[in-house]
Homo-oligomer: A and B are copies of this chain.
Amino acid sequence: MPDSGYVLLTGFEPFGGDLLNPSALLAERLHGSEIKGVRIASACLPVDLARLPVEIERLLDGPSPRAIVNLGLAAGRTAVAVERVAVNALDFNIPDNAGQQIRDRPILPDGPAAYLSRLPLRQSVERLRARGIPAYISDTAGLYLCNACMYLVLHTLAQRGWDIPAGFIHVPFILEQTAQQEAPRASLPLDMLTLATGILVETALAETQTQPLRQVLSSTE
């Protein structure tokens, strides 16, 4: 029986005083499920700059997954945000979970200024909207751990020459969180974000299937 590979899906642990992080819940919920015949393998990343690169390295220390979708929480956002770009910079508004508050430093001193998402951005947003889920393409993933995660993953792919769909998605608070807030910020239901994550993985995989053809064409030039 042929192995159809897997999709790597990650979330982050809670940070900044929150008791939960919806991105970790989403990764956990979808772990082991199959989308278009491809199994999802999930992981929860640390909000800790010292440990993040080690963990990403470890997760990618095998054969290439079919696609990578990294999730994170963006407090105050109103919709699912498909990130366009990861910038080679760290500038934390709050300390990470290890207490480090980095300002104005590159992620990789010799790395390129930025990586553009390898997800089909517009197609992702259109499919989400068609299913009734508010979504947009975001022009900044911030300069905290989420952006660093996106940058490090895309840098690793570039280093290894893995031509797979990969990118970062910011999700809003979920209702369980804002129902506790005196002045509630924007939020969406966890069930809707679960559906959204599935659609995003599916859209990434749909894109993947055109890759082999392209590679064949390139190799004959």
Which residues of A come within 8 Å of B, CB atoms?
Answer: 78-79, 84-85, 87-89, 91, 93, 103-104, 112-116, 121-122, 128-129, 131-137, 139-140, 142-143, 175-176, 178-189, 192
The reply to whether A189 and B192 form a contact with Cβ atoms under 8 Å apart is yes
**Which of B79, B84, B133, B176 lies in contact with A132, CB distance below 8 A?**
B176
The reply to whether A134 and B175 form a contact with Cβ atoms under 8 Å apart is yes
Interface of A is mostly: loop
What is the oligomeric copy number? Answer: 4
Residues of B within 8 Å of A79, CB to CB, are: 178, 184
Q: A89-B116, A139-B143, A186-B186 are in contact. List 13 more A-B contacts (CB 8 A).
A: A78-B78, A85-B87, A85-B89, A85-B114, A93-B183, A104-B122, A113-B116, A131-B179, A133-B175, A136-B184, A139-B142, A175-B192, A186-B187
How far does the alpha carbon of A205 sit from the alpha carbon of B136 in the complex, in Å? Answer: 40
How far does the alpha carbon of A104 sit from the alpha carbon of B120 in the complex, in Å? Answer: 11
